[in-house]
Amino acid sequence: MFGFPRTVNEKAARTVAGVVAITGIVALAADAQWLLIPLAYGFIARVLTGPTLSPLAQFATRVAAPRLGEPKEVAGPPKRFAQAMGATITTLGSIAYLAGSVTVAGVCLALLVIAATLESVFAFCLGCHIFNWLMRIGLVPEEVCVECANLASRRPRTDAPAA
């Protein structure tokens, strides 16, 4: 039950991100920062169990993504890292909301909307890019995501002279 898949269907991840972005926009527009609490639950559930305990991830993997065509499998560890970033932001926002700091809660929601929109609309996973950067500088060991390490080694160096 606990664990995260080695690969993730990017279409399902983008579906989850789309619902998160819409929920965040609604929370900001309706002054409903309390929505951070169920969002935090969803992120924490996905970090700990992948889609197993997240109703939104279950919907995305079983209902929405299969209707979007062939799955596009991507490495799981960067997506898990991105979910952990979402868990951190929404948990901080939830605590701020419960403590009465609607400004901090609103900032957390805005950050969440930006990241989720980038993922859902543009397939730009901010957490995945941060994960890749952490691997390149050596803070995340290669064995955490061998696929990611292989991709990072194939990137052209930006400091290499042009041929």
Q: Which of 25, 30, 44, 32 is nearest to 111 (CA)?
A: 25
Q: Of 152 and 120, which is predicted with more confidence?
A: 120
Kindly state the average pLDDT of the residues 123-152: 84
Q: Which of 158, 159, 160, 84 is nearest to 126 (CA)?
A: 84
Residue 69 has pLDDT above 90, yes or no: no
> Which helix (H) or strand (E) segment is 9 a member of?
strand 7-9
Residue with tokens 């970090």: 47
What are 8's strand-pairing partners?
A: 74
Q: Residue 35 is encoded by which pair of tokens?
A: 């929505």
Kindly state the average pLDDT of the residues 27-47: 96
Residue with tokens 């950050």: 111
Looking at residue 156, its pLDDT comes to 46
Measuring CA to CA, how many Å separate 13 from each of 17, 52, 154, 155, 156? 6, 14, 24, 24, 27
What CA–CA distance (Å, rounded) separates 128 from 119?
Answer: 10
pLDDT above 70 coverage of the chain, percent: 90
Question: DSSP string covering 69-105, please?
Answer: SS--EEEHHHHHHHHHHHHHHHHHHHHHHHTT-HHHH
pLDDT tens digits for range 83-136: 999 999 999 999 999 999 999 999 999 999 999 999 999 999 999 999 999 998
pLDDT above 90 coverage of the chain, percent: 60
Looking at residue 86, its pLDDT comes to 97
Kindly state the average pLDDT of the residues 71-91: 93
125 in helix, strand or coil?
Answer: coil
Q: Which of 5, 19, 116 is nearest to 50 (CA)?
A: 5
